[in-house]
Structures are given as structure tokens and as C-alpha cells.
């Protein structure tokens, strides 16, 4: 979460020379995941993020994982995607991360389920699915690291404040909902080792501004 905040502060500074465009941000009485989980082409800022602790039950190895997709459109002129991936290895006190910006096209705003594919300078990533059933992959460009996970919801989605929306007055209006428990399977290829079997992704949250 700390890493996400650092990124957001940087984005705010980047666009501080212009007032962010937010007149077409989506904000209704209650969020409807059957449509609101899909990207909104004119939203000024929205993101989908997965964070949690993953344990390889065969090798008794614990990792922290973060996978985030940002959709940025603060000027209503030319939006961007940013994909950010991070893996922490507390046993060896190591932290791995990578990110890339991508241009966007209108076909990425089709109906659900999500179906994203990004490739750039050895960095690759995909994200597919909806309503807690997701598949996502990432290949780091900086290091020989691969991530491939699939999830299934074990608890119902939680809508923030009962509506999935929050009004921050003159600052922003935000959509916020969470899947508090996702059963997760897949593997992590970290340097010269592969960790797999069943994992537990503790928290998955999505926030839209």
C-alpha cells in the first residue's frame, strides 16, 4: 500500500500543472459490478489492485505480492495504462518490482470479463476475468521473474459504505469495493527457483476515482 501511495503522489505532481478533468467520472447511487468493474473510458483515474500474502504449502515459503493496473485520463485528451508488479521475499529480505506505461485503445473498454494484454521491452502482463474469478500474469523486464496466478472468491464482495461509492466533497468522488478473501493457485518463478501449489491471496481491492 505504501508503494501505491508513492506512485499516486508522483502522478499528482506530474499533472499538477493542469486541473484534473473529472466531469465524466462515474459516480452513481450504488455500484453495479456487472458494469462498473469494467474500465470507464473517460474516468480521470481508476485502478484494480491485488495485494496479499502467498504461501507455497509444499516448500513452506511465504511471499508478499502486489499487482496493480492503473487507468489514467486526467486531461481527457490521451489516457494511459500503467501496470505495476511487486514481490517481497521476507525470508531473504528481498523486494522485486517492475512497472511500465502503455498507450490505450478503445477496444480495451469492451464489456466484461476483463481481457487485458500488455507487452513492452521484455515486460509482459495479462489480466482476465470478473467478480473475483481472475487470471493474471506478469513477466518482469528487469529480472528473470514470472508470476502466474488464478483466483476464486471465498467471501462476497464488500461495497464501501454499503453503496460502493464515497463522496470526498470538492476533492473527488470515488468508487471502492473489495473481495476480502480470494483462494489463489499458480506459481512464482523467482530467479532460479519455482514456487507453486496452492496459495492464499488475503486481500483484493479495487478503487476508482
How is the chain split into domains, by residue range? Answer: 43-208
- β-pairing verdict for 133-139 and 123-130: antiparallel
Q: Rounded mean pLDDT of 166-180? A: 73
pLDDT(208) > 60: no
Give DSSP secondary structure letters for 158-193. EEGGGTTEEE-TTS-EEEEEEE--EEEEEEEEETTE
**Bridge partner list, 48:** 69, 206
pLDDT(143) > 50: yes
Q: Give the whole-angstrom CA distance, residue 195 versus residue 193.
A: 7
Rounded to two decimals, the pTM is 0.80
Q: Give the whole-angstrom CA distance, residue 91 versus residue 19.
A: 44
Q: Beta-strand (E) ranges in 2-132?
A: 45-56, 61-72, 80-89, 94-103, 114-120, 123-130
Length of the chain: 209
Q: Give the whole-angstrom CA distance, residue 209 versus residue 194.
A: 37
Q: Give the whole-angstrom CA distance, residue 50 versus residue 71.
A: 15
Residue 158, C-alpha cell as written in the block: 464488500
- Name which residue leads in pLDDT, 200 or 126: 126
pLDDT for residue 206: 44
pLDDT for residue 42: 75
Query: Do 46 and 38 contact (CB within 8 A), yes or no?
Result: no
pLDDT(183) > 50: yes
Q: Give the whole-angstrom CA distance, residue 44 versus residue 142.
A: 29
CATH class of 43-208: mainly beta
Amino acid at each position: 500500500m505504501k508503494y501505491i501511495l508513492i506512485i499516486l503522489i508522483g502522478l499528482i505532481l506530474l499533472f499538477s500543472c493542469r486541473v484534473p478533468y473529472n466531469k465524466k467520472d462515474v459516480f452513481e447511487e450504488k455500484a453495479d459490478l456487472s458494469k462498473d468493474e469494467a474500465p470507464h473510458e473517460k474516468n480521470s483515474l481508476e485502478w484494480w489492485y491485488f495485494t496479499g500474502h502467498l504461501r507455497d504449502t509444499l516448500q513452506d515459503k511465504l511471499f508478499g505480492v502486489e499487482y496493480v493496473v492503473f487507468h489514467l485520463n486526467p486531461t481527457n485528451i490521451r489516457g494511459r495504462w500503467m501496470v505495476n508488479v511487486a514481490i517481497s521475499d521476507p525470508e531473504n529480505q528481498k523486494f522485486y518490482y517492475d512497472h511500465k506505461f502503455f498507450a490505450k485503445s478503445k477496444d480495451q473498454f469492451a464489456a466484461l470479463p476483463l481481457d487485458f494484454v500488455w507487452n513492452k521491452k521484455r515486460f509482459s502482463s495479462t489480466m482476465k476475468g470478473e467478480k473475483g474469478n481472475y487470471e493474471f500474469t506478469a513477466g518482469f523486464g528487469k529480472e528473470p521473474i514470472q508470476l502466474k496466478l488464478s483466483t476464486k472468491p471465498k467471501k462476497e464482495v464488500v461495497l464501501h459504505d454499503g453503496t460502493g461509492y464515497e463522496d470526498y466533497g470538492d476533492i473527488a468522488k470515488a468508487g471502492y469495493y473489495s473481495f476480502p478473501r480470494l483462494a489463489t493457485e499458480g506459481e512464482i518463478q523467482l530467479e532460479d527457483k519455482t514456487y507453486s501449489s496452492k496459495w492464499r491471496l488475503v486481500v483484493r481491492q479495487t478503487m476508482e476515482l
